[in-house]
Amino acid sequence: MRKIWPYFLLLLFVFISCKKNESEGVILKPINFLTGTWVYTNIEDEVQIMHRSDSLLKSRYGFTMKADGRFIERKNSGWCGQGGNYIFEDYIGLWKQKDNNTFEISVGYCEGIVNYTICVDFLSLDSLRFTCDYAAIYP
């Protein structure tokens, strides 16, 4: 019986090692803090402050940056509703990283396409602070 234990342990080891890996095919990527949905909180000295949200709010500026480069921006559609309230719409566009903290945005708006750059000053899991370079809009 004693001579069988090493073979039994070897067989058990082989069985466990050959077990199908259930996570096979899944590629784990590091978390990109910037991707996700961001909603406007306030502005301080031309720095926009946003907070992470599960979804865009109905009547507040915000955007979603998808990992595949898609950009959805909820903003004033250019029309006012009753009582002077702004009507917000989603505009579809693209984003790409220019350098470590600069991102180029190309997105629709009520009169066509707008291109601008955001420069991230601070980024955490739930907070984003950035400035915009509108030189492409107003040369």
Task: Tell me the pLDDT tens digit for each residue of 38-79.
Answer: 999 999 998 999 999 999 999 899 999 999 999 999 998 866
Answer whether residue 15 is part of any domain.
no
The 10 Å Cβ neighbour count of residue 45 is: 5
Give 58's contacts (C-beta < 8 A, 6+ positions apart).
Answer: 88
pLDDT the model gives residue 6: 52
pLDDT the model gives residue 94: 97
Answer whether residue 16 is part of any domain.
no
Answer whether residue 89 is part of any domain.
yes
- Cα–Cα distances in angstroms (integers) from residue 119 to residues 24, 26, 54, 72, in the given order: 38, 32, 23, 18
Number of folded domains that form the chain: 1
Answer whether residue 9 is part of any domain.
no
pLDDT the model gives residue 115: 92
Please give the residue range of the domain that contains residue 111.
Answer: 24-133
Report pLDDT digits (tens) over 81-127.
566 677 889 999 999 998 888 999 999 987 789 899 999 999 988 99
Answer whether residue 13 is part of any domain.
no
pTM of the full structure: 0.71
Answer whether residue 10 is part of any domain.
no
Answer whether residue 11 is part of any domain.
no
pLDDT the model gives residue 20: 41
Q: DSSP label at 66?
A: -
Answer whether residue 17 is part of any domain.
no
